[in-house]
Structure 1
Amino acid sequence: MIDTRINRRSVLAGGLATAGLAALAGCTPAQGSQTTTLQFWHLLSGGDGITMQGMIDRINAAHGGFHVRPTVLAWGAPYYTKLAMAGAGGRAPDLAVMHSSRVSGYVPGGLLDPWDLNQLTELGVSESTFTDPVWNSSVVDGEVYSVALDAHPFITLYNTEICEEAGVLNSDGQLMRPDNPEDFLEMGREIAGVTGTYGLSYGFIGDGNQMWRLFYTLYCQHGQQMTFPQGGSVEVDGDAFVAVLEFMHRLVDGEVASQRGTIDAAVAEFAAQRTGMHFTGVWELPPMQEAGVPLGATMIPPIFGDEAVYADSHSFVLPHQANPDQQMRRDTYTVVAELLKNSITWAGAGHIPAYLPVTENEDYAELTPQAEYAEAADYLVYDPVAWFTGSGSNFVQQFGQIVGSAITSGSGYDQALEEFRRYVDNLLAQPNPANPQGGRS
């Protein structure tokens, strides 16, 4: 098993290196009177950016009639601002990547065009080729406005050697998955008894993203999801809200996890094999493999009963064009279909390919530990739909400000709930700023 994993990783690493070289050579389209250029904006950097460029290079090499020209922009608010301005100002690219959680905020203002389901189906892309949570995240007001490339959930990485010594692996050699808070905390203490430090690495101090990812996973494990109706009041289960904050405080008790854990400290201590578990996104998988951690991965256990996995997706969207060239649109559909069908490469970065024929293939089943959490795609929960939520938004940072002191101090849970209600209700009373027509959305 170990040799197989190393060989596969070596192949993937070699492929990324080749892709990086190809990117340097592939920036200029082949010249020809029939070649058109498809402008493609995305926010993928680092290893993800190199992998995407390699996938684009292969498509460009296979097609003489068009050339995909990517433009990489900085992740976060600047990217989404530029994309909105391009759509509103008639300077939109042919294709772009958005996080699924941001799409609903762009639809009411006419900043995105819907996908033609007939054209997608002709290319082998349809509702049946995605899990229900992934497909549903693409639908806004009954139309499909995004096509997901992946799902990148918040999961548990674990050190197989430390966890075996602690006696917390099952008969299949995988991490046990307690279904109640007490058993999970006890498992953390068992691991801490082996490491001499903590059982779990979880960075949250000063990081609203990290607090929200874990909080919403655990909140939805109660069988609840929040609803943010525009112009109305937030729908939130107060008991579940408080129960999760209470548990998160107990989690960071100085034994199970650090009371002052930052994301950088959590990554460093798990990579150094000083803890046995790590709550993090799948994007941390490749660095841990490179650090030599004997690695397993699984969904966060159903601590409050239900399976639920907080996630987002990198998704393809069609920025609005008043008069799109129909041939270029057809070529754009072809590009997306081919990126989906060849997304086994994308899985090397830890992401779960959204296109089911890829994850159901035996090649994917051989990926370790990616295949161990592939079922997470059936239990994904995305951010509550609203113009102000989603990846790179201010919402998650403000959430961290609201609940941070309650998590660290173990008090003020009810006050945090009421402050959260006021904060969200105030946003719900405001119009969507991405809607150039004004009004509520």
Structure 2
Amino acid sequence: MLDGNNRTSRIDRRSFIAAAGAAGITGLAGCSGFGGFGGGNGGGSNGKQTIEYWTLFGGGDGKAMEKMVNKFNESHDDITINRQRLPWDQYYDKLYTALTGGKAPDLAVVHASQLAVYQDVLQPLGDLVNDETADGYVNSIWKQVQLNGDRLSLPLDTHPVGIYYNKSIFEEAGLDPEKPPTSAKAFTKACNTITSETDKQAFSPTPYGPGELLRIYLAFLRQSGGQLLNDDKTEAAFNNEKGVAVAKYFSNITGDWGWDKPEMSDNRWEKAFYAGDLAMVANGTWFYGPANDQDFEFGMFKPFVYPDGNQQYTWADSHTLAIPMNPNRSDAKQKAAAEAARWLTQETNIWGTDAGHLPASQSILESDDLRQSNVWNKTLSTFYEMADNNALAYVPRTSTVDTYQERITDNLAQIYSQQISPQKGIQQAAQGVNNALKNNN
């Protein structure tokens, strides 16, 4: 599955709240519990609650979520989840329309990076999330669903980025396929060896297109001690020596070093990896299934390979389950939605074993079923080490997160394709970010 959180509609908070206010939703933003709701149809005549649940998962992720929902429905007599899958590239547009039109689902997937955009129309979970439930999640992931003191959602996972590699190409280049590079020096040597000894492309920091370049840019920036935004999230913090240095690294990949071609087209690198023409590509947890389906053996390693890096960080985001506000939803249905979110995030390991994501639940992470699975051995054990060592770098959350990220990725794409110098690209990106942040204040 291509994780679509960097391609959401660009909704700034001001226009969102204005639209939501017209629909009568904004007035609920101060609610912290569930007691004030009523008047809605809580369920059928037999008291059974039907929860309308929206997801954006397709491919292997979609099949895994379908399996999870079916298992929930089979094990509950009083609650039924009605899952509706929307295309990932349309999901946030449709969720926005539903929220501003007063037709919100009872439960919805919201990326952790998007919580600041939607915070005023998501029901704070309040006392429905007790300490026992909260303590069940990995602490570093649990922190990502809290904003301004509110618990806004329950985390389903974290999905960091690692570097996947084709073991056959390593063998062809004379490299040991069982010993992937673990340092910047070894990584550079591996890329240069693949470039000189084979006709393959050595490495790409994006699997799908321009939108994903920010992931490794953020990882390398944080590895070198840099930041995307300043501490109060009012302006760009990468228009400096560290930010330009990472951009130069990107430019060298398709320029002086020749590790990749300076061509930007959607899915070029994913297709090249499947075809056996690309040795290494940065990608997330969701890539386990597609990589495992190829006719060559793959490996995955931590992306701590930036030459100027002395810290360990990789990009990450989380799928979370949130309850959109609805003044007509009954207390009983609110509670049922919260229970569905708790169960889906804490009571089954399918999201890890079948979808390949790193579960947010501590008990699932420690379960024998997960730790004895092939996905644990191939990828999740490595991703877990990074999560357990607080090596996950989430993008700074603001109400303009999509807009400011686009300003960066547009310029990174020009840098990567040799259309603009690293210095000019970073300067333009920073100015775009500053304008986006300023216009929303």
- Provide TM-score, normalisation by structure 1: 0.80
What is the match of residue 338 of structure 2?
333
Counterpart of 2:396 in structure 1 is 384
Give the drift of 1:70: 1.6
Q: State the match for 2:214 in structure 1.
A: 212
Structure 1: how far apart are the matches of 2:391 and 2:153?
19
Counting aligned pairs with the same residue, the percent is 22
Q: What is the distance in 2 between the residues matched to 1:95 and 1:383?
A: 24
CA RMSD across the alignment: 2.8
How many pairs were matched up? 389
CA contact (8 A) 2:50 2:80 kept: yes
Deviation at 1:59, TM superposition (A): 0.8
State the shift of 1:161 in Å.
Answer: 4.0
Match of 1:373 in 2: 383
Residue 417 of structure 2 is aligned with which of 372, 387, 408? 408
1:270 aligned residue: 273
- Residue of 184, 200, 204 corresponding to 2:203: 200
1: distance between equivalents of 2:168 and 2:235? 48
Q: Deviations over 1:291-311 (max 9, x none)?
A: 122121122124222111112
Alignment of 1:42-191 (within 5 A): 42-76=55-89, 78-107=90-119, 110-116=120-126, 118-121=127-130, 124-127=132-135, 129-132=137-140, 134-163=141-170, 166=173, 168-169=175-176, 173-178=178-183, 180=184, 182-191=185-194
**Cα separation, partners in 2 of 1:388 and 1:113, compared to 1, 3 Å:** same
Q: How does 1:334-373 map to 2 (within 5 A)?
A: 334-347=339-352, 348-366=354-372, 367=374, 368-370=377-379, 371-373=381-383
Give me the whole-angstrom Cα distance separating, in 2, the residues matched to 1:342 and 1:191. Answer: 44
Shift of 1:257: 2.4
Tell me the alpha carbon deviations over residues 87-139 of structure 1, each in whole angstroms, 9 at most, x when there is no partner.
344332211101110111221xx2111123x53336x421452141x222211
SS at the partner of 1:315? strand
Amino acid at match of 2:200: T
**Gap change, CA 1:257 and 1:404, over 3 Å in 2:** same
Q: Deviations over 1:244-290 (max 9, x none)?
A: 01111122246422332645332222223333322223322211211
> For 2:176 and 2:50, how far apart are their aligned partners in 1?
52
Q: Decide which moves more: 409-418 or 49-58.
A: 409-418
Tell me, yes or no, if the aligned pair for 2:269 and 2:278 is still in contact at 8 Å: no
The amino acid across from 2:138 in the alignment is F
Letter in 1 for 2:130: T
SS at match of 1:227: coil
Q: Are the aligned partners of 2:115 and 2:397 in contact in 1 as well (CA < 8 Å)?
A: no
In the other structure, the counterpart of 1:26 is none
Offset at residue 174 of structure 1 (A): 4.1
Cα pair 1:308 1:379 within 8 Å, conserved: yes
1:44 to 1:310, Cα distance in 2 relative to 1, 3 A: same
Question: Any gaps of 5 or more consecutive residues in structure 2?
Answer: 1-42
Runs of 5+ unmatched residues, structure 1: 1-29, 432-439
Alpha-carbon displacement from aligned partner over 1:161-186 (angstroms, at most 9, x marks no partner)? 4335646559xx341211x3x54222
Once residues 207 and 355 of structure 2 are traced to their aligned partners in structure 1, the CA distance between those partners, rounded to angstroms, is 23
Q: TM-score, with normalisation over the residues of structure 2?
A: 0.80
In structure 2, distance between residues paired with 1:410 and 1:204: 20
Change (3 A) 1:252 1:419: same
